[in-house]
Amino acid sequence: MKIDVLPVGWIETNCYLVTCGETREAILIDPGWPDDSIAHRIAERQAQVKLIVNTHAHFDHIGGNAAFVESTGAPLAIHELEVPLLESGGAASVFDLHIDPSPPPDRLLEPGEVLKIGSLNLKVLFVPGHTPGHIALYEPDHKVVFVGDALFRDGVGRTDLPGGSTPTLLASIRNELLTLPDDVTVYSGHGSETTIGDERLNNPWL
């Protein structure tokens, strides 16, 4: 597995290109902006993007959907409960911002399903609270989880935007993420990576 972390857009949202080292099949997670760095990395890896996934539909995670659906031909996947937010522009208007409208999703993700990308198996975890349909992707063989804005190093996602709920978010983290092994690396929507064990011990919100 090759993991490329590509901070893009106004608030440096982490886009992840996750590529199978055996087949070069790849998944693109949260392309928040139509940034050249993403396209260049796909080309450098000679990656075949098979799926584009939004962990949730805030504007800074969906702003590049249109560009990369078009350039890669890959289907777009998101949880059903995020579709209204996706269709409304991801709350960009709240901040007086504009993004390219996202195409509709080709696939609606179900909790517990496994996304097969080459030899990789990414399990969909349902972690609402930051938004109603927020998901994470867990690859158990490589001990990594991509959590969007649910969990950060020493922090958790904000819940003051429409659809957010602090009790729901904290329950999601405890019931889904903190049940993972301590040595699982956590890749968040912003900032640096951490581990489940570190957050279990040190995160003041938990």
Quote the CA–CA distance of 188 and 148 in Å, as a whole number.
5
Q: Give pLDDT tens digits for 75-102.
A: 999 999 999 999 999 988 878 888 899 9
Domain that holds residue 157: 2-202
| Confidence (pLDDT) at 130 | 98
pLDDT above 90 for 44: yes
pTM of the model: 0.97
pLDDT above 90 for 33: yes
Token pair recorded at residue 150: 């649910």
44 Cβ partners below 8 Å, 6+ apart? none
Among all chains, which residue has been given the structure tokens 């990594």?
144
User: How many domains in the chain?
Assistant: 1
Contact predicate 49/68, CB 8 Å? yes
| Confidence (pLDDT) at 177 | 98
Which of 148, 147, 176 is closest to 58 using CA atoms? Answer: 148
DSSP letter assigned to residue 100: P
The arithmetic mean of pLDDT across residues 145-169, rounded, is 97
Q: Give pLDDT tens digits for 112-138.
A: 999 999 999 999 999 999 999 999 999
Quote the CA–CA distance of 19 and 16 in Å, as a whole number.
9
Residues of the chain with pLDDT > 70, as a percent, come to 100
The CATH number given to whatever domain includes residue 103 is: 3.60.15.10
Three-state DSSP class for residue 146:
strand
